[in-house]
Chains A and B, each alone.
Chain A
């Protein structure tokens, strides 16, 4: 069934999948039990929300110890407007690139790179610069993190209630 918007059950389903995801052999069956849905229905609704981009994935967010295994940096590049989409596809192709956006600034492409060590990070940035040939670019390594995306941001009851 094709649905235009997430409905009330979807909102409840998102909340369960986010905030109380069961680490068990059959997690979707368990979530279905809580909501009075079959496992098949939970799966089809979740698939649909992934397809629509409401749910990115069902997975993990790294804790501090894992993050410390990585060096990361932010790069801003100035690329001709008519080359931006092409340049972005070159950049996104690197698995070390985690975020990549077009922004309304002279430096129009902004992406983050995360690698297992500083050397690999520098190699990736250098390779991208060589391929993309930006008109200008800057690299801004992070010094300190005050806030990381947490499951309660945008996933709060308020966030969930703004669905649809």
Chain B
């Protein structure tokens, strides 16, 4: 596993200065050249899958954001999960454990729609993919925090 010192130095994003990797290098106790080389290496070997501007869906005109959870039969989760993953409006799709008696929904889709009609169209498509599974729509009312995972 890669030494994470350099990744930690850029985990909150690089600074908006002409030489951002020099600034990161100071935090990591190394030099600019090593930071640039390391970032190229970890991008090539898949330790990180992306480096660049991380853009907010919501600010890009997606006004209706919802977590939609579906009660999908365990035997169908793999195929339904893959189908949901192919929908552009879905940013994340996870299978999660159920909590008996409290929470029956096991497949989670994060949907980002431009308006209520688009969300409704997504729900209709979801009902088709799940052959009518129960679902629960939890709209985002307020975003308190959204960051990358810290390593």
**Chain A interface (Cβ < 8 Å from any Cβ of B):** 14, 17-21, 23-29, 39, 43, 46-47, 50, 52-67, 69-70, 72, 74, 76, 88-89, 91-92, 95-105, 110-111, 114, 138-151, 153-156, 159-160, 162-163
Taking a contact as CB atoms under 8 Å apart, the answer to whether A61 and B148 are in contact is: yes
Q: Interface digits, B46-71 against A, CB 8 Å rule (1 contact, 0 not)?
A: 11111111111101111000010000
Q: Assess the B55–A146 pair: CB atoms within 8 A.
A: no
B124 nearest CB across to chain A (Å): 20
Please list the 5 inter-chain residue pairs (A to B) with the smallest Cβ-Cβ separation, ordered nearest first.
Answer: A57-B13, A21-B52, A17-B53, A147-B85, A146-B81
Contact A153 B88 (CB under 8 A): yes
Contacts A23-B39, A60-B50, A146-B84: A155 and B55 contacting too (C-beta < 8 A)? Answer: yes
Cα of A151 to Cα of B43 in the assembled complex, Å: 14
Are A25 and B145 neighbours in the complex by a CB distance under 8 Å?
A: no
Q: Are B13 and A56 in contact, with the CB atoms below 8 A?
A: yes
Per-position binary interface string of chain B over residues 78-114, scored 1 when its CB falls under 8 Å from any chain A CB and 0 otherwise: 1001101100101111111111001100101000101
In the complex the two chains form, is A17's CB within 8 Å of B144's CB?
A: no
Do the beta carbons of B16 and A50 come within 8 Å of each other?
A: yes
| Chain B positions within 8 Å of A89 at CB level | 144
Q: How far is the CA of A103 from the CA of B78 in the complex (A)?
A: 27
Cβ-based interface call for B121 (8 A)? no
Return the CB mask of B133-145 against A: 1 if under 8 Å, else 0: 0001011111111
Question: Least Cβ distance of B99 to chain A in Å?
Answer: 5
Q: List 30 A-B contacts (CB under 8 A).
A: A18-B52, A21-B53, A23-B36, A23-B43, A26-B19, A28-B20, A43-B17, A47-B16, A50-B16, A54-B59, A55-B54, A56-B55, A58-B54, A59-B13, A59-B51, A60-B39, A66-B7, A66-B149, A88-B145, A92-B145, A101-B140, A102-B140, A102-B143, A103-B138, A114-B149, A140-B97, A146-B84, A146-B85, A154-B57, A163-B60
